[in-house]
Structure 1
């Protein structure tokens, strides 16, 4: 086979594929792959590469495609992990810089004070900042999630609302020292803050982030046990964990209330990425004509990026949480379905 080169339809051995892959990657990209091999393997692969001759484009494509497919598969042996990053950094960059970057990678991800604040209930934020100067309040609200800030403003005393909004519109450049002072004060106050259940705010965020990362089948039993052991904590965590598919448990009355408050554009995009059962819960609570129009809108829209669907669902869920805060709907309505 050596002289004639490699054509399509040839049965390739594992060694052939490895040799073709190293050839396709070229010397620079292959170097890190080769470095960990023993002499025996290197000799055999070197010999195969020397014998390859002309490699057909079809063969090249199928081998590289197979390699990529393996990396996309669920094979646990092919998961890239921390040690792969270490190998790459150690090979590619000088050691002091590699060590510094690897230390940063190993450090647990910490939320900024503004990210932490954005996850608090609006009434908790408003009560902790309402005694501040309107300029300080404007600075704080200008740094947190806009949808949370707008709900906080609504809870401030009326005579302060306009003052804060006017100041927010005029914030351009603020001395870094002032922002740093505010950050430090907020950080101190937050570290002392505890929710209804007595768990610290940072602890609450950690619990929610961990549960969000688990498969639903794993998270559900944990939440069920939490409900039995500490109902207050369960309620706080469960509300933060609300996902779009959970809306299937709402009563018809609540879904009709939601329909009056959410934008049809967000709903169309949200339902585009939801199950048929969820879509039916919403369509079943609209007039037949409105449901037909919305179905047509969904079809016309064509395929959507997952990130766009998620953004629309999060916007819809924010409105739903607000309705729940106001008592207009009951999120735990699974026991009184109409």
Structure 2
């Protein structure tokens, strides 16, 4: 049987993805698969089964292309496409750098709308307000309705009405407008990618830090922030979860949390807890289980505050894990989490 010949120039994107995944160890490849849709997994798995006896030079070329694209993208995140090209030229020369950046530009264009679908509504609105209302209307017509509603709420009333009217009247679109829209989507997608690192900070980062700090330090820092900026302190509190916030959980959620909590940790955590917290927890335990914890509390000798706070943090970690697994709902996370 004649051995199949492969030419790098003729490889499809799916084949390149398959070759890349075949080059990884099983654990890493499985992590990548988890980030893909079922359809994408099936398509790439099919390519993997069809790719046999690959020459090493083909594999090397695919890996080299991936490396170049990732390098270019990291440069782009730092300072945009022009910055990426300038840095790449120093390593690979003008022609090769231009080729790499063009691939990134195409990838960004193809992924543009998918990136916009995940963009922060306020950030997206800020970008769009600089554009013509007809361009805004065409872009928003390709995005999910809930995201569009949030973006529109950020516009002033005049622009909001104008854009909604234009969306309602959208018909055939001129090639010139399509080209303009593609250019705008490219720009916004590029800027969205370049701001990913910046949006990782702010209130969310502080909330994450305070969640990992002991309660005394967290409380002190929150009080200081509240004195300087009350609105910011409220935003941080909304994003974090403290042990005393357990009273905001519904009874079913508390019962689910208690199934995973060590009884010793529970007793320690309640040592200095507010009466409302104790009442809420005991209410969701059987009489026998509650009696055991109360007895342990009664006969518990002096303990270090850091031990109590450590126990509280372990319980908070359980609560956050269960929320991530969507087994419980933490109140106050936003309107989408309200039950009616």
**TM-score normalised to structure 1 length:** 0.36
**TM-score normalised to structure 2 length:** 0.36
Report the structure number with the largest CA radius of gyration.
1
